[in-house]
Structure 1
Amino acid sequence: MLHLRLMVPADRTEDVVELLETTVGTAHLAVLSGAAREPRGDVVLCDVAREAADGLLARLRAMDLDRTGSIAIEHIDLSLSLRAQRAADEAPGEGVDAVLWESLSDATHEESTLSVTYLAFLTLATMIAACGVVLDNAILIVGAMAVGPEFGPLAGFCTALVRRAPRLAWRSLTALLVGFAVATAVTVGFSLFMDAVGLFHVEALEAARPNTNFIYRPDWFSFVVAVLAGIAGVLSLTSAKSGALVGVAISVTTVPAAANAAVALAYREYAQSWHSLEQLLLNLAGIVLAGTLTLATQKRLWSRHGAGPAPR
């Protein structure tokens, strides 16, 4: 269940309450007359089943409530209520399958912002992966994958394509391109520094590296894994399964490929650097393709439920 807190202009309260009362999947409606001060109006509280929330939010926004008032949503971890159970049963579909498009757009918008924190995490992840490359240490590679924040803008780009949101698409693409460019450049400098102090050696890069040589050897398996990870990643976002998202982060070699390209570039191993870049692009393409198709399929399937206001 989700909890809605609405700030409603007094002259629109009756319409909003009627909408909530006639929407399948709602429960625990409360109206606090005159409680809102900024903006002035009434406060309307309501619980709604996750599977009914997207249609309800669309209608609230159609009433311009996001401009004239306020719409806030909170997740309810536990609700011991027969009415809440009845509302969830009456709502079409299953809550875990529902996609809250407004929530998804907001989350991916935040995750795809080119910020100092985003650049720091991506750069640190790439430098950790660089150490894993030189040491042929799979544990460091996995750790770098978990630290990398690149799935945020990838998911944002997929969402933008499905929702036809050019601003989000541009923001996400900028975060990806600038982020990887900065991370790679800094890692080149890091590699040169580590070589100068005797911790990195070109011989390690040229060795067989049985644990990490897959990073610069792109093949169809790389693309297949990226596609599967893209599907799992989008499903984890739309169903709020954060544990699955961690698994996605450590299954695709985006950050390690950028790290290997940086280290190889520092040692002028241009062929290995280029193959690493191919691996990076192949994985990014697979994730975007799979993520976009998954979201489009979810949108098409969920639209058949016809969630929204209906007599009860």
Structure 2
Amino acid sequence: MKKVVVHVREDGRRDVENALEGLRYTISLVQDVYEITTYTPEENLDNLIEKIRDKLDLEHPENMIEVSSPDFVVSSLLERFEKDVDGQEETTPVEKLLDTIKGYETLDLDKLALTSIAGLIALSGLLLDNETIIIGAMLLSPIMGPIYGFAVYAALGMIQDALRCIGVLAALLLGVFVLAAVATFLISLVMPLGPTDEITTRLVLNPIYTLMAVLLGFAAAVAFNKGTTEVIAGVAIAAAIIPPTVVAGFIQILDPIQLFSSALLVIGQIVGLMAGALVAVALLKIEPRRPHEKAVARRYRKWSVVTTIILFALLLWLTTFMWI
């Protein structure tokens, strides 16, 4: 159950009441601004917000829509509403999605530090041939955010923010690659290094890795959309992309000849994860509210999907060719 409070000026009050036709609501006047309060099941929230936004002029700073989750509501009327919508598909409001991914399009020191530390820990696990340490390192990495942010921004037609998310992802992985290369070089000065079993398995190109990345991207995006925290949803993503990036940095120092195949594996994982996330947001029907915004979003979404499919097909062909 959600509580919706609409703050509206006198000249827009009637329009908002028309949007709430059929619902029970209360009205109070606070400093020349009306506060209209109603309750709705979560399944109806997105449609209700769309109706209110169509009637509410948000150009005025006094007008706003406030949504919150009360601990509980005791009402026979609301219980009947919940029974009526029982079984309907629940959709996440666009505003909530945007709030969820806010900040993923910007690079900050915290993200860079956490990802770099995760890379160093993963390098330790790779050198020690310890899978537990490698997986444990993934708990620190915030790598899921930019991938999910890219998919949602692309679905909403916010292409500049989507490209910024790709830039943030590239910067984070570049930091991991450089740090892994520097650490490998420094360690090699004091002790001999060689590829362990965990490193060797990430040097073999296999098209199954790319297909697995698609499934991981899809599953993580769905989990993230349903409210799963980034740490939990991102572990699988980080496990799929951080160790191969660390291996690429390791190989850059000890065996540069294999860098191409290692880099190709990393790129294949990235494209696969993005492809899976795009499929997920499409099936979740994430799109803008207004018709003209939907048209723009569809155009950009098609561009993103076509580009991703071409890259995915190319990488899949390359990995299959080199694997054979």
TM range (shorter): 0.7 to 0.9
- Give 3-state SS (helix, strand or coil) of 1:33's partner: strand
Structure-1 residue corresponding to 2:157: 164
Identify unmatched segments of 5+ residues in structure 2.
290-324
Instruction: Answer yes or no: is 1:277 the counterpart of 2:269.
Output: no
Q: Does 1:101 align with 2:97?
A: no
What's the CA shift string for 1:243-300, capped at 9, x where partnerless?
8x715523641111111112222x2422443333222211211121122122212218
SS at match of 1:217: coil
Work out whether 1:122 is the aligned partner of 2:109: no
Q: Which residue of 2 aligns with 1:60?
A: 52
User: Runs of 5+ in structure 1 lacking a partner?
Assistant: 304-312
The answer as to whether partners of 1:231 and 1:287 remain within 8 angstroms in 2 is yes
Whether 1:298 aligns to 2:284 is yes
Between 47-56 and 81-90, report the one with greater CA deviation.
Answer: 81-90
The answer on 1:141 being equivalent to 2:134 is: yes
Q: Structure 1 residues 119, 3: CA separation in 2 closer, same or farther (over 3 Å shift)? A: farther
How many angstroms does 1:175 deviate by? 0.9
Q: Report percent identity of matched pairs.
A: 19
Q: Report 1:1-312 matches (<5 A).
A: 1-22=1-22, 29-34=25-30, 41-68=33-60, 69-76=63-70, 78-91=72-85, 94=88, 97-196=90-189, 198=190, 201-203=192-194, 206-207=195-196, 209=197, 211-242=198-229, 246-247=232-233, 249-250=235-236, 252-265=239-252, 267-299=253-285
Describe the superposition over 1:5-26 as per-residue Cα deviations: whole angstroms up to 9, x where unpaired.
332223222322332344xxx6
CA distance in 1, matches of 2:66, 2:257: 52
Residue 85 of structure 1 and its aligned partner are, at CA, apart by 2.7
Paired residue secondary structure (1:215):
coil
Contact 1:160 1:168 in 2 (8 A): yes
If asked which structure has higher relative contact order (CA below 8 Å, sep 6+), I would say: 1
> What per-residue deviation string (whole Å, max 9, x for no partner) do you get for residues 138-167 of structure 1?
112112222211111111111122222112
Q: TM-score, normalised by structure 1?
A: 0.79
Contact 2:26 2:37 in 1 (8 A): yes
CA contact (8 A) 1:100 1:238 kept: no
Using the TM superposition, give the Cα deviation of residue 90 of structure 1 relative to its aligned residue in structure 2, in angstroms. 2.9
| CA distance in structure 2 between the aligned counterparts of 1:79 and 1:111, rounded to whole angstroms | 34
Q: Secondary structure at the match of 1:149?
A: coil
CA distance in 1, matches of 2:149, 2:38: 29
Contact 2:9/2:33 (<8 A) preserved: yes
| TM-score, scaled relative to structure 2 | 0.77
CA distance in 2, matches of 1:202, 1:299: 49
* Deviation at residue 202 of structure 1 after TM alignment: 1.8
Alpha-carbon deviation of 1:172?
Answer: 0.9
Query: CA 1:93–1:263 in 2, change beyond 3 Å: closer, same or farther?
Result: same
Find the counterpart in structure 1 of residue 311 from structure 2: none
Give yes or no for contact 2:152–2:286 (8 Å, CA) kept in 1: no
Structure-2 residue corresponding to 1:308: none
